[in-house]
Chains A and B, each alone.
Chain A
């Protein structure tokens, strides 16, 4: 899949325009605050119906406008798609080829987009929730049933939490069964994804970092035993007193942990910020590779200022490790042109200033 063009109006600080994106590499050069990331956010919006930066729709609309609209054309082999997103304060509506999309997962399936962003370091060093979100997202990218299971799990969890607060004991055994049935499936899929990552990620990390350190991922589910409904119900039953004290469900996939392990120890305990950032970048590469392996389709990569803080050797090796995509869209600071020349085959470059985009040509000095 690749984006061919984007028409945008009223979106953040961007000056309404239509941009051609019809190239394998699209590069946006500009100082911070000029609108580079806003453009990547717009592309993410048309792919997921949500932003990777904010939940407040008002933030995505230009201060002098009431609404924003994004229309993207994309091609996938012989197929062409048009997705339109209409953003108003408090509402986002998506249209696929003119028809309103009832559930966003229909579009996610068509537009596999993977974002590499500065905030990804949270996946490595942030709270456990950020790692759960990363692996859930990895699965959701290609498996709608997992997304459906996850939504159902959280729906039942919220109901159970309320029943715990209401002290309605009669309902807890029913919710335990439901949580067990859906939760077991969620755990199995997480086990699978971690196993697959451990076949992809350590090699990628070693080649980009230039260190022969074997870094792998360990999954530690909250339910230690989880082969049958009965086993899980026993966990939940045993935790009821604790649940009452904390007024919430204290065990289950929503408490699962993921760790990065190097030489038998937790990597994050000793890793520098630079190493953590590199791990987060390579995780995204592994996410793309995993998607490719499972679907035999090529994703689109959005890379937001990610080369910053990497030393020249790692920059080069990281760019070289990015393979197997239909399109990669980068943002760079103006003085980062060194990184781009290697991407210059089949590329379009724009300079971004005050929300406006001007096509430019990178020349060898």
Chain B
């Protein structure tokens, strides 16, 4: 295998990158200026050493910022905790600009078929965090899958005896999505889970 082929093969292991895109990227790297390649190599090489998981919430942070800036920021709403499946979900929610509370990353969802039970997730820590801080509301933002539902229900049970309000992110037709083109199942499910509008 040539070096180029090896690079293509390595690139095609990236999510969303097929063989075709991988070879386009490889040929681009081959012909671009050396500086970009050096910078890329340096960044890729260092990423796992320099980016760690926040010891409080589990999202990504840099080595010298642990707990992360979100956990320590005085301007965030410290009474609300949003529970997400993966660290990258934090970024998605942050990008909306609509949420200003704290986060907690589970690192997956409950799925016995995949060998993941409550003990494999960052669940025990949630109860401790809620007890020790002034959290009043917990928003569960797991995905609307069967496993996401299981995990949400399990967390709700876990927090039953604590003085917190527990809510789940609503799922339905995507904003800006045209009802005409939305998946029929999504529409049918949204109908089932419809909410009362205040008058």
Contacts and interface: CB of A to CB of B under 8 A. Distances in A.
Contacts of A177: 153
Chain A interface size, as a band, is: 20 to 34
Interface string A149-187: 000100110110011011010110111011000000000
Given A152-B146, A170-B118, A159 B153 contact: no
B111 A159 contact: yes
A171 B112 contact: yes
A171 B110 contact: yes
Interface in A133-148: 144-145, 148
Residue in B111, B118, B153, B157 with the greatest tally of chain A CB atoms within 10 Å? B153
Interface string B132-153: 0000000000000011011001
B14 interface: no
B184 A144 contact: yes
Contacts of B157: 173-174
A156 B147 CA distance: 8
Contacts of A144: 184-185, 188
Given A166-B117, A175-B150, A145 B185 contact: yes
Interface in A108-141: none
Given A148-B185, A166-B117, A170-B118, A156 B112 contact: no
Contacts of A145: 184-185, 188-189
A173 to B, nearest CB: 7
Contact of B117 (A158, A171, A175, A178): A171
Contacts of B153: 174, 177-178
Nearest to B113: A162
Interface in A171-205: 171, 173-175, 177-178
Chain B interface size, as a band, is: 10 to 19
A171 B184 CA distance: 31
B27 interface: no
Contacts of B184: 144-145
Nearest to A152: B146
Given A144-B185, A148-B185, A158 B113 contact: yes
B158 to A, nearest CB: 9
Contact of A163 (B112, B147, B188): B112
A162 B149 CA distance: 17
Contacts of B154: 170-171, 174
Interface string B104-131: 0000001111000110000000000000
Contacts of A173: 157
Contacts of B146: 152, 155-156, 159, 178
B150 A178 contact: yes
Contacts of B185: 144-145, 148
A314 B1 CA distance: 69
Interface in B57-89: none
A175 B189 CA distance: 20
Contact of B147 (A159, A165, A168): A159
**3 A-B pairs with least C-beta separation:** A162-B112, A145-B188, A174-B153
22 contacts: A145-B185, A145-B189, A148-B188, A156-B146, A159-B146, A159-B147, A159-B150, A162-B112, A162-B113, A163-B117, A166-B117, A168-B112, A168-B117, A168-B118, A170-B117, A170-B154, A171-B112, A171-B118, A171-B154, A174-B153, A178-B146, A178-B153
Given A168-B112, A173-B157, 20 more contacts: A144-B184, A144-B185, A148-B189, A156-B146, A159-B112, A159-B150, A163-B112, A165-B112, A166-B112, A166-B117, A170-B117, A170-B118, A170-B154, A171-B112, A174-B153, A174-B154, A174-B157, A177-B153, A178-B149, A178-B150
